[in-house]
Amino acid sequence: MFQHETLVIDDALINDLSQRLNIEVRVSPDTARVEISAVIMDSRSITEGCLFACVVGENFDGHDFAQEAIERGAAALLVDRELPVTTPQIIVDDVRSVLGELAALAYGRPSDAMKVIGVTGTNGKTTVAQMLAAVFNVDGQKSAVIGTLEGDMTTPEAPVLQRRLRELYEDGAMVVAMEVSSHSLVQQRVQGTTYAAGVFTNLGRDHLDLHGTQEEYFRAKSLLFSSYGLKKMIINDDDVHGRLLADLSSDRGEVYRFSMSDIENLQMALSGSTFVLDGTSFHIHLPGRQNVENALAVIACSRAVGVADEIIAVGLESVQMVSGRMELISHDEFDALVDFAHTPEALDALLRSCREIAPLRRLVVVFGCGGGRDRLKRPDMAAVAGRCADAVIVTSDNPRNEDPDEIIAEICHGFSDSTTAEWSVEVDRESAIRQAIFDAKAGDIVIIAGKGHERYQEFASKKVEFDDVASIRAAMEARQ
């Protein structure tokens, strides 16, 4: 474990934060001068000499844990209202407005010393980040990924993020491909991070439970390009929001657009795709048109920061699989795919890709929708599945605090007279997967959508171990 930088909280720091962030920052008492060894926002993780950030969340108010933090060794507090304690306090209107900057300073601003590439969008972030790291590794630049496959959150909270960046820097990382979620942008988790480039993959319908409208969701995503001084912006020109973002960003830095219309000789199979771009042939092992789009984002980004096409081609081909992203599990008689598709657009793209790759094969899809999330997308998911698949089994997917039967009922409202697929319901996800595998006919493609890499089912008060891939393999074995 690395040693933390020592951050001194004094007048100079307070004045610097006020001027740089253009917000009011003050300290109490006004003569305070205290050395901070770390920035922490989880009272359970308090270390001696740390700054405890009292973040107000959806379910908890960090200010309620301030006294506990002090008793456990916190040397100072970051608050949005002054508390009746003698411990030094940094006082701001919104704790998150300075939390990222303070965390970055406490860990020595590690992103300044590396090439950090932010990847945002509704779909494709994980695959693009993994591909980018592979390309830079082949180029001799030790690379790492921060994202969905590496932790509990797509983009960690600011103190955890800056600590992780510092760890990667000390481990010799030269490039970090970072998934940047819309939550992290509106909550300012990535504040204090310096980006060498930003990638926008696409914008579909997601997280409207947080953002309210599609316009607000787009605004959240666009913050990466408007608020972090990006000089290189790589944007999907096939996406309507991408084109809008590119136009809005044209006076901020260099914009690099990528499009499926740029490629030639596209050949796709379940084993992967090949295509030619500007005279160079590329091969990826990940199947589907959407993964070709992801590869184009990687090519455009890699070129923008000076990587040669022959290196990019080797890097892309080195990626054999991305967990839960069109992950292929083959059987003697049929194939199964596990994919994270949990939005109508992602499910539509997944099913259309399978239909394009194998137009004569029967598509069977198993999916559900998460509880406590955007309810309006539920019938849309059924409409997509009913239109694009041959058979559909609706099941549970992280019901959380909702009744699984009620979630499924809302999904099934999307089936209509125009639905062409046979459909049924099996609430228990493992039973649904088992049914799909047992009933599969020779040549079928069985698609298990929604959870992808996740290794759990989330219920009201607990997480239960659950793995779509393991369930598929167990059902295949039992079928034998």
Structure confidence by residue, pLDDT tens digits, 15-32: 999 999 999 999 999 888
Q: How many Å apart are CA 315 and CA 131, to the nearest integer?
A: 7
Give percent of the chain above pLDDT 70. 97
Query: What token pair was written down for 119?
Result: 């990847």
Pick one of 3.40.50.1370, 3.40.1390.10, 3.40.50.280, 3.40.470.10 as the CATH number of 7-95: 3.40.1390.10
Cα–Cα distances in angstroms (integers) from residue 296 to residues 10, 271, 280, 354, in the given order: 48, 18, 12, 19
| Domain regions of the chain by residue span | 7-95, 110-317, 327-479
Query: Number of H helices and number of E strands within the chain?
Result: 16, 24
Pick one of 1.20.120.160, 3.20.20.80, 3.10.450.50, 3.40.1190.10 as the CATH number of 110-317: 3.40.1190.10
| pLDDT at residue 211 tops 80 | no
**Comparison of pLDDT for 195 and 209, the residue scoring more:** 195
Q: How many Å apart are CA 255 and CA 249, to the nearest integer?
A: 7
pLDDT digits (tens, 9 = 90+) for 422-440: 999 999 999 999 999 999 9
User: What mean pLDDT is reported for the chain?
Assistant: 94
Instruction: State the pTM of this model.
Output: 0.93
Beta bridge partners of residue 208, listed in sequence order: none
pLDDT digits (tens, 9 = 90+) for 146-192: 999 998 899 999 999 999 999 999 999 999 999 999 999 999 999 99
End-to-end CA distance of the chain: 48
Pick one of 3.90.180.10, 1.10.1040.10, 3.40.50.620, 3.90.190.20 as the CATH number of 327-479: 3.90.190.20
Cα–Cα distances in angstroms (integers) from residue 313 to residues 8, 144, 259, 319, 440, in the given order: 47, 19, 17, 11, 36
pLDDT digits (tens, 9 = 90+) for 73-119: 999 999 999 999 999 999 999 999 999 999 999 999 999 999 999 99
Q: How many Å apart are CA 294 and CA 302, to the nearest integer?
A: 12
3-class secondary structure, 29:
coil
Tell me what the mean pLDDT of segment 322-337 comes to: 96
| pLDDT at residue 209 tops 60 | no
Question: What are φ and ψ of residue 290, in 5° steps?
Answer: -65, -30
What is the pLDDT at residue 178? 98
| pLDDT at residue 1 tops 60 | no
User: If pLDDT is split at 50, 70 and 90, which confidence band does 38 have?
Assistant: very high
Question: What are φ and ψ of residue 223, in 5° steps?
Answer: -60, -30
Q: How many Å apart are CA 340 and CA 358, to the nearest integer?
A: 20
Tell me what the mean pLDDT of segment 301-305 comes to: 98
Query: What token pair was written down for 109?
Result: 């601003």
Q: How many Å apart are CA 199 and CA 194, to the nearest integer?
A: 14
Query: What token pair was written down for 365?
Result: 């899809």
What is the pLDDT at residue 3? 44
Give percent of the chain above pLDDT 90. 90
What is the pLDDT at residue 198? 98
